[in-house]
Chains A and B, each alone.
Chain A
Amino acid sequence: MERVRGPRSARRALGRLLEAVLASRAEANAVFDILAVLQSEDPEEIQDAVRACSRLFGALLERGELFVGQLPPEETVMAGSQGATRKYKVWMRHRYQSCCNRLAELLAHPSFQVKELALSTLMKFVQLEGAHPLEKPKWEGSYLFPRQLFKAVVDGLLSLEEDCSLLLSQFCQYLEHDDVRYHAMQAAADTVARVANAHPEVPLTFWNNVFTLLSAVSLPRQESDIANFYVQHAELSDKWKVTHLKEHRKAFQLMWLGFLKHKLPLSLYKKVLVIMHESILPHLAQPSLMIDFLTRAYDIGGAISLLALNGLFILIHEHNLEYPDFYRKLYGLDPSVFHVKYRARFFHLADLFLSSPICPPYLGAAFAKRLARLALTAPPELLMALPFICKPAAPTTRPGRVLGHRPRGPELDADPYDPDEEDPAQSRALESSLWELQALQRHYHPEVSKAASVINQALSVPEASIAPLLELTAFEIFERDLKKKGPEAVPLEFIPAQGLLGRREDLCAQHFTLS
Chain B
Amino acid sequence: MGKARATGARPKAPGAPAGARGGRARPNPNPFEVKVNRQKFQVLGRKTRHDVGLPGVSRARAIQKRTQTLLKEYKERDKSNVFIDKRFGEYNSHISAEEKMMRRFALEQQRQHEKRNIYNLNEDEELTHFGQSLADIEKLNDIVDSDSDTEERGVLSAELTAAHFGGGAFPHEKPSQQPGPEAARPRSHKELIEELIAKSKQEKRERQAQREDALELTEKLDRDWREIQSLLSRRAPQAQSRHQEKPQPDAYDRAVRELGFEMKAQPSDRMKTEEELAKEEQERLRRLEAERVRRMLGTSEDQDSKGPAHVSADDLNDGFVLDKDDRRLLSYKDGKMNVQEAQSGEASNGGDEEEEEDEEEEEEEGEEDAEDSGGSDSHSDLECGVESEEESEQPEQEPRPPPRGRSAGRGQDARDAARTELPYTFALPSPLEDLKSLLAERPEKPVEEQLLVVERIQKCHHPLAVGNKAKLEKLFGFLLEYVGELATEDPPDLRVIDKLVVPLYNLCQMFPESASESVRFVLRDAMHEMEGTIEAKGRAAFPGLDVLIYLKIAGMLFPTSDLWHPVVTPALVCLSQLLTKCPVLSLPDVVKGLFVCCVFLDYVSLSQRFIPELVNFLLGILYIATPNQPGPGYTLVHPFRPLGRNSELLVVSDEGDAATWRRRSLSLHWASARHAQTETEANHTRLSCLAVCLALVKRCVLLYGALPAFHDITRPLRALLAQHLAGSSHPHELQELCRSALADMEAQERRYQPLVCERSKPVPLKLFTPRLVKVLEFGRKQGSTKEEQERKRLIHKHRREFKGAVREIRKDNQFLARMQLSEIMERDAERKRKVKQLFNSLAEQEGEWKALKRKKFKK
Q: Tell me the A residues contacting B by CB distance below 8 Å.
A: 334-336, 338-339, 373, 375-380, 383, 396, 403-407, 409-415, 433-436, 438-440, 442-446, 449-450, 455-459, 474-475, 477-479, 481-482, 484-494, 496-502, 506-508, 510-515
Say yes or no: B509 contacts A492, CB within 8 Å. yes
- B219–chain A nearest beta-carbon distance, Å: 71
B605 close to chain A: CB less than 8 A: yes
Say yes or no: A492 contacts B559, CB within 8 Å. yes
Say yes or no: B559 contacts A491, CB within 8 Å. yes
Say yes or no: A490 contacts B558, CB within 8 Å. yes
B667 close to chain A: CB less than 8 A: yes
Residue in A444, A490, A497, A498 whose CB lies within 8 Å of B513: A490
A407 to B288 CA separation, bound complex (whole angstroms): 39
- B516–chain A nearest beta-carbon distance, Å: 4
* Contact A514-B333, Cβ < 8 Å, known A439-B709, A459-B319, A474-B580: no
- A137–chain B nearest beta-carbon distance, Å: 57
Q: Tell me the B residues contacting A by CB distance below 8 Å.
A: 285, 288, 292, 295, 298, 318-319, 329-331, 333-337, 339-340, 362, 369, 404, 494-495, 497-499, 501-502, 504-505, 508-509, 512-513, 515-516, 520, 523-524, 527, 531, 534, 549, 552-553, 555-560, 562-567, 569-570, 572-574, 576-577, 580-581, 594-595, 598-599, 601-605, 607-613, 615-616, 635, 637-638, 664-669, 692, 695-696, 699, 704, 707-713, 750-760
**Residue on A nearest B510 in the bound complex, by CB:** A492
Residues of A within 8 Å of B330, CB to CB, are: 446
* Contact A376-B552, Cβ < 8 Å, known A489-B512, A497-B505: no
- B435–chain A nearest beta-carbon distance, Å: 19
Residue in A406, A482, A489, A500 whose CB lies within 8 Å of B498: A500
Say yes or no: B613 contacts A379, CB within 8 Å. yes
Residues of A within 8 Å of B594, CB to CB, are: 511
Say yes or no: A508 contacts B513, CB within 8 Å. no
**Residue on B nearest A474 in the bound complex, by CB:** B577
Query: Which 6 pairs between the two chains have the least Cβ-Cβ distance?
Result: A409-B754, A491-B335, A339-B638, A406-B754, A444-B609, A497-B505
Say yes or no: B752 contacts A435, CB within 8 Å. yes
Say yes or no: B758 contacts A508, CB within 8 Å. no
A-B contact pairs, 15 of them (CB 8 A): A335-B635, A411-B753, A413-B751, A414-B752, A433-B752, A436-B712, A444-B576, A488-B336, A493-B559, A494-B362, A497-B504, A500-B501, A507-B696, A513-B667, A514-B668
Chain A interface SS verdict (over half): loop
Residue in A433, A484, A514 whose CB lies within 8 Å of B755: A433
A457 to B757 CA separation, bound complex (whole angstroms): 6
Residue in A450, A458, A486 whose CB lies within 8 Å of B334: A486
A455 to B432 CA separation, bound complex (whole angstroms): 51
A414 to B754 CA separation, bound complex (whole angstroms): 11
Residue in B336, B599, B613 whose CB lies within 8 Å of A508: B599
Say yes or no: A512 contacts B708, CB within 8 Å. no
**Residue on B nearest A500 in the bound complex, by CB:** B498
Residue in B512, B527, B610 whose CB lies within 8 Å of A490: B512
Say yes or no: A489 contacts B335, CB within 8 Å. yes
Residues of A within 8 Å of B557, CB to CB, are: 492-493, 497
Residues of A within 8 Å of B615, CB to CB, are: 376-377
Residue in A439, A457, A514 whose CB lies within 8 Å of B667: A514
Residue in A405, A487, A490, A496 whose CB lies within 8 Å of B757: A405
Residues of A within 8 Å of B524, CB to CB, are: 478-479, 482
**Residue on A nearest B514 in the bound complex, by CB:** A490
* Contact A515-B669, Cβ < 8 Å, known A497-B505, A507-B602: yes
Say yes or no: B667 contacts A492, CB within 8 Å. no
A336 to B635 CA separation, bound complex (whole angstroms): 9
A446 to B570 CA separation, bound complex (whole angstroms): 11
Say yes or no: B331 contacts A514, CB within 8 Å. no
Residues of A within 8 Å of B527, CB to CB, are: 475, 478
- B564–chain A nearest beta-carbon distance, Å: 5
Say yes or no: A438 contacts B709, CB within 8 Å. yes
Known: A404-B755, A435-B752, A481-B570. 16 other contacts (CB 8 A): A414-B750, A415-B712, A438-B707, A438-B755, A444-B603, A446-B563, A446-B569, A458-B757, A458-B759, A459-B760, A478-B524, A492-B512, A499-B501, A506-B605, A508-B595, A514-B498
Residues of A within 8 Å of B565, CB to CB, are: 486, 490-491
Say yes or no: A435 contacts B755, CB within 8 Å. yes
Residues of B within 8 Å of A444, CB to CB, are: 572, 576, 603-604, 607, 609-611
Residue picked from A414, A489, A490, most chain B C-beta under 10 Å: A490
Say yes or no: A512 contacts B755, CB within 8 Å. no
Say yes or no: B601 contacts A507, CB within 8 Å. yes
A383 to B580 CA separation, bound complex (whole angstroms): 14
Residues of B within 8 Å of A494, CB to CB, are: 285, 288, 292, 362, 559
Residues of B within 8 Å of A379, CB to CB, are: 576, 580, 612-613, 638
* Contact A478-B558, Cβ < 8 Å, known A438-B709, A500-B552: no
* Contact A485-B637, Cβ < 8 Å, known A442-B610, A444-B604, A507-B605: no
Residue in A405, A439, A456, A457 whose CB lies within 8 Å of B707: A439
**Residue on A nearest B706 in the bound complex, by CB:** A442
Residues of A within 8 Å of B599, CB to CB, are: 508
**Residue on B nearest A338 in the bound complex, by CB:** B637
A72 to B552 CA separation, bound complex (whole angstroms): 86
- B688–chain A nearest beta-carbon distance, Å: 9
**Residue on A nearest B754 in the bound complex, by CB:** A409
Say yes or no: B604 contacts A415, CB within 8 Å. no
Residues of B within 8 Å of A506, CB to CB, are: 598, 602, 605
**Residue on A nearest B703 in the bound complex, by CB:** A442
Residues of A within 8 Å of B570, CB to CB, are: 478, 481-482
A513 to B752 CA separation, bound complex (whole angstroms): 41
A123 to B636 CA separation, bound complex (whole angstroms): 54
- B631–chain A nearest beta-carbon distance, Å: 13
Residues of B within 8 Å of A501, CB to CB, are: 498, 552
Residues of A within 8 Å of B531, CB to CB, are: 475
Say yes or no: B566 contacts A458, CB within 8 Å. no
Say yes or no: B667 contacts A440, CB within 8 Å. no
**Residue on A nearest B638 in the bound complex, by CB:** A339
Say yes or no: A484 contacts B566, CB within 8 Å. yes
A380 to B616 CA separation, bound complex (whole angstroms): 13
**Residue on B nearest A383 in the bound complex, by CB:** B612
Say yes or no: A442 contacts B494, CB within 8 Å. no
Say yes or no: A443 contacts B498, CB within 8 Å. no
Residue in B319, B509, B577, B668 whose CB lies within 8 Å of A512: B668
Say yes or no: B576 contacts A512, CB within 8 Å. no
Say yes or no: A413 contacts B750, CB within 8 Å. yes
Say yes or no: A406 contacts B756, CB within 8 Å. yes
Residues of B within 8 Å of A486, CB to CB, are: 331, 333-334, 564-566
- A416–chain B nearest beta-carbon distance, Å: 9
Residue in A436, A459, A490 whose CB lies within 8 Å of B335: A490
Say yes or no: B755 contacts A455, CB within 8 Å. yes
- A465–chain B nearest beta-carbon distance, Å: 19
A74 to B501 CA separation, bound complex (whole angstroms): 93
Say yes or no: A336 contacts B610, CB within 8 Å. no
- A460–chain B nearest beta-carbon distance, Å: 10
Residues of A within 8 Å of B707, CB to CB, are: 438-439, 442
**Residue on B nearest A402 in the bound complex, by CB:** B754
* Contact A514-B495, Cβ < 8 Å, known A491-B559, A508-B552: yes
A396 to B555 CA separation, bound complex (whole angstroms): 42
Residues of B within 8 Å of A492, CB to CB, are: 508-509, 512, 557-559
A444 to B564 CA separation, bound complex (whole angstroms): 9
- B98–chain A nearest beta-carbon distance, Å: 52
Residue picked from B336, B513, B552, B569, most chain A C-beta under 10 Å: B569
